[in-house]
Amino acid sequence: MKRILPAVALTLGLLLAGQPAARAEGDGQLMASGSNVRDQASLQRGARLFFNYCVGCHSLKYMRYSRIADDLGLTEQQVMQNLNFTGARFDDPVISHMPAEDATKWFGKDPPDLSLEVSAKTADWVYTYLNTFYLDPKSPIGWNNTTLPNAAMPFPLWELQGQQTAVMKPGTDEVEKLELAHPGKLTPAQYQQATRDLVNFLEYVSEPAALQRHHYGVWVVLFLALFTLLAYFLKKEYWKDVH
């Protein structure tokens, strides 16, 4: 038993090491996203937000419409009617239909593909970014962001959140806090939930296999625990006559 327990502890440690670490309530000045890719309803709402507000500029070139349907519990008809606005086929990847020359003309560069955005920046960063846009008359696009100052992207969700203004620290150009000057269609709590859903969907997109890994992980742990128990009794049987 003394030899088996360390092996079990090592196995559980390796399994837990493969899971994302729990995030603290804040990471510096970042807001905690509270993302949970196992919440299928949240993923569905996030997909609706992405395809209504983001796909006009941003692609998900590593994700296919058919894979989204399978993972999010949607039918082909639901996806093609409610999420496909570019005329793509069901098995096609999610590609924005914005011409490259228009993107360069309007934004100065091509909008980034968002397939791996959460993997690169973390869910908390993307969530904070979506909650910290504010009106800035000095900016060429009329908007700025405290998380990514001088971002080239206009605020796509302003109708939902409303318009925030910045309160500067006295005698500086540094933003002290943001205030909601003109409310949007959603209350602040509803908007935070909406952006949490959107970040959830983007986190799923960055690693779709995580859904299957979480599902099978429980069964793997149970199998290893049962196998360890059987191995222990087998060892006792083999060694019972050894003195």
Please identify which residue in the block is written with the tokens 């949970």: 36
Residue ranges of domains in the chain: 32-207, 209-243
168 bridge partner residues: 175
Q: According to DSSP H, which parts of the chain are helical?
A: 4-17, 40-53, 65-72, 76-82, 100-107, 117-121, 123-130, 158-161, 188-206, 209-239
Tell me how far CA of residue 180 lies from CA of 124, 134, 143, 187, 196, in angstroms. 21, 9, 14, 10, 19
Query: Which token pair is 59?
Result: 């692609």
Q: Which pTM was predicted?
A: 0.76
Q: Which CATH class is domain 32-207?
A: mainly alpha
Amino acid (one-letter) located at 133 = F
Per-residue pLDDT of the chain (243 residues; tens, 9 = 90+): 445 444 444 444 544 444 443 333 334 489 999 999 999 999 999 999 999 999 988 999 999 999 999 999 999 999 999 999 888 999 999 999 887 667 666 666 788 899 999 999 999 999 999 999 999 999 989 999 999 999 888 999 999 999 999 999 998 889 999 999 999 999 999 999 999 999 999 999 999 987 666 666 677 787 788 888 888 888 777 787 775
- Alpha carbon distance 179, 164 (integer Å): 5
Contact in structure between 41 and 8 (CB atoms under 8 Å)? no
Burial of 44 (0-12, 13-18, 19+ CB in 10 A): buried
